[in-house]
Amino acid sequence: MSGAERVVKKRAKRWTHEQARKVLERWRASGKSASAYAREQGIGETRLWYWAQQFEASDTRVAPQFVAVSVPAIEAGAASRRGLEIDVAGLTVRVGEHIDVVYVARLIAALQESHRC
């Protein structure tokens, strides 16, 4: 097949987040199925679903929240006995003096997520 005989499929222009959001809003407002709307607009149905998933994932992400904590003065040597207690979703998490803060943050996030289920 020569170059002249080949039909080159035109690649769809990439959407910005704003363009995708507008298309999704129009699709949802139309009340049509994804396939019907995509066919009518001349766009790929998978493209609609891809962007819908992207926005759904970003909408459900919870931004980190920081809470001011007041820690009372601790006597020398008492820290290893007392540790720290954190109340998360009605559960109390007790951690020792030398705990990895990243681990504690992941633990708290997991507890909050499991509490939502």
Query: Above 70 in pLDDT, residue 32?
Result: yes
By mean pLDDT, which of 20-24, 57-61, 65-69 is the weakest? Answer: 57-61
pLDDT number for residue 79: 47
- Segment 63-96, tens digit of pLDDT: 666 667 666 665 555 544 557 777 777 777 787 7
CA dihedral sign, ordered 108, 102, 61, 117? negative
**Residue type for position 37:** Y
Select the more confidently predicted residue: 80 or 116: 116
| Whole-number pLDDT of residue 98 | 75
Share of the chain above pLDDT 70, in %: 65
pTM score, whole prediction = 0.42
pLDDT tops 90 at residue 40:
yes
